[in-house]
Amino acid sequence: EENGHLSKRLKSQVDEEDAEDQTKKLPKRKIVLLMAYSGKGYHGMQRNVGSSQFKTIEDDLVSALVQSGCIPENHGEDMKKMSFQRCARTDKGVSAAGQIVSLKVRLIDDILEKINNHLPSHIRILGLKRVTGGFNSKNKCDARTYSYMLPTFAFAHKDHDVQEETYRLNKETLEKVNKLLACYKGTHNFHNFTSQKGPKDPSAKRYIMEMYCGEPFVRESIEFAVIKVKGQSFMMHQIRKMIGLVIAIVKGYAAESIIERSWGEEKVDVPKAPGLGLVLERVHFEKYNRRFGNDGLHEPLEWKEEEEKIAVFKEQYIYPTIINTEREEKSMMNWLSTLSIHDFNSSAVEMQANNKTSKNSDFEGSDGCGDDSE
């Protein structure tokens, strides 16, 4: 009997080793993975190799890739070996419904299922496509769409509206919000919307394709709305400051003319809305799709078939996290109470003094939009 058990054990060991050898023989292929995740509790997307203090989404992803047998262990330690590139470096606490990473993997059977088996439920790989050998998800991306979900009481006028959760957004205020958001469309100098660029830095010029706020809806007795913004690329804090400034105007703290003023060379005090609520919705590869999407070898990088899975993930993991965190931590309510401290007419000299103070207390990093803010 003992011999029987021993031979069974040896046989299963040999089978496992055979399977491992077969996996090692599989050729590596360049692919993209479509990822969705809830960013709460993570210090952003990008891995900080050698720092286990701050957990990132990529820490969990790389671990799952190694455990599932898609990549050898040493590729997990040195990500350059698998030509790994993420499309956008989402920041601390920021979620994603359509993040894309490109990398070289062994195309094992049931690859998505196996990777997901080693991931926590709030991180999912929803799709996979083969791409050209030289594909780089960051460089080939020609636009990114973000959404920002916020409670509508953020738009309540400071002097004559209810400031609490009972507030409901009326049609006129929504129209005003959309008129202001539309001002951002086109190419402008956004140096006042990041802490990293001077007014003469050419890279502070950014192109915004669309920006609007959708119809409000009620969840858990609080009314929310979602702002969508599509642009070529964004700088650190840019989206949160664009939204923060519109909120300051609608609430009656700043004049509408401040938007035009902020594109000039003078330093303008632009408030930064909370990170909670910001979601990387999707990334666009229009040029790549035109060139390679119908060449008979590659598929276009579009995810129509995965749209339902994305919607389900958002309902299950992203929206409840935003709603529950807002209810418990009141991040928007607390931030709104700081708007009165801002000086929307301050001079450049005053601003520099304020900036020194705020820089020392700002540990948040990029918007999740730090696509190219290095």
146 annotated binding-site participant: yes
**Does residue 247 contact residue 154 with C-beta atoms inside 8 Å?**
yes
Active-site residue, from 18, 21, 60, 91: 91
- Asked if 372 is an active-site residue, the reply is no
**Residues identified as active-site:** 91
Which segments are annotated as binding site for substrate?
A: 146
Which segments are annotated as binding site?
A: 146
